[in-house]
Structure 1
Amino acid sequence: MEMVESLWILFRDFHLSPSKKDSIWVIVDRFTKTAHFLLVNTTYSLEILVELYIADIVRLHRIPSSIVSYWDLRFTSVEKGYLSARGYVNELCNSLWINWEKYIPQVEFTYNNSYYASLKMSPFEALYGRRCRMLTCWIELSKRNVMGLDLIHDTEEKAVTIQNHLKTAQDRQKAYTDLKRKETSFEIEDKVFLHEKIIIRFGQKGKLSPRFVRPYEVLDKVSLVVYRLALPRKLSKIHNVFHVSMLQRYRSNPSHVVQIKELDVEANLPYDEEPV
């Protein structure tokens, strides 16, 4: 599992705020785990999101060499931290009925200044070399004076330490995932079922809905674990390339085909009239 620079997830379905925001776009740096919570609306076009990304992310951190979304299989460990942030905001929004968007800066600061197990430090400490003062505590944090070559040496040591911690966390996570992972492969023209969470993104959802839907035909084998499917026109907004974990093999069975019996209809069929 390679290191990627940036990843993102979209928290949706919050109460509409006074500024007409209903979602939180969370973007995190994979190396330092530093996160930014951007207020957005689900109706925003791709052009608007790109402008926000440039204004709030590229302006501070440059353009990343790689980006992973929530739907990518490499998105794993950081989800737990984001879900805790969402739970905090949901609690404010649903139980107190207050202006939840006003508290997003505090949520972001608290997240970035909290201890992260895989880093063995907080994201702020990984980014700036020290923890930041809390908003409710203005006591000066202890720090040693680092100047010149000592600063470079200290930064390099911290970067190596972070990489080692992240590698250890990823190896631990990979070992756990491999215990449940099954080697699966498909051939072109095979039929496969598609995981229902892909369909949920477009409004078709329900507690009793099946985990996998249709089958769809495999058009191309992009890599050992990625396949291109023939999707119907109504799913044209979905990118038709999926990881193997999103697919399930369909085994053809003649009993699945329902034969329609032909009916003989007589045009002049007599019948007796009865009062209604």
Structure 2
Amino acid sequence: MGESKYLGPEAVQETNEVIAKIRARMIASHFLEKIYANPKHKHVEFQVGNHVFLRVLPMKGVKRFDKKRKLSPRFVGPFEILERIGEVAYMLAMPLAFSGVHNVFQVFMLRKYVSDPSHNLSYEALNMQLDISYEEKPIKILGKKEKALRNKTIS
């Protein structure tokens, strides 16, 4: 029981067979990765001075950018690109209302803005807190409805 040296053409043949199996498995896994990759993925680049929309991730219980939950906007903006930082990050010109938000975003959070001459790019002043939320205040009641239950009505 000791170390034995494994020399000869059989060892070389066995090693070549194992290497061939490994290569075949690597090719198969590479093929599967190609299949699972997103075929619609496009490499996106923006130029300095372009306008883009910013993706907003809705959070439960937090009202951001005008509406709550299902009706909350998915994108806000448009914002102008000030500078490209690295390969996939851009610095945006944010209004003072968003001063609590960092102004550097990755490409996947931006969407191209197609300009329309009738679109007004002015920003309204919002009273926002540092966590990008604000309190909703109704302006007026547009409709009134009464619900009749068994022995009482609820307006």
- Shorter-chain TM range is 0.3 to 0.5
Q: Which has the higher contact order (CA 8 A, sep 6+)?
A: 2
Q: Which has the higher helix share?
A: 1
Normalised TM-score (structure 2): 0.47
Normalised TM-score (structure 1): 0.28
Q: Which has the larger radius of gyration?
A: 2
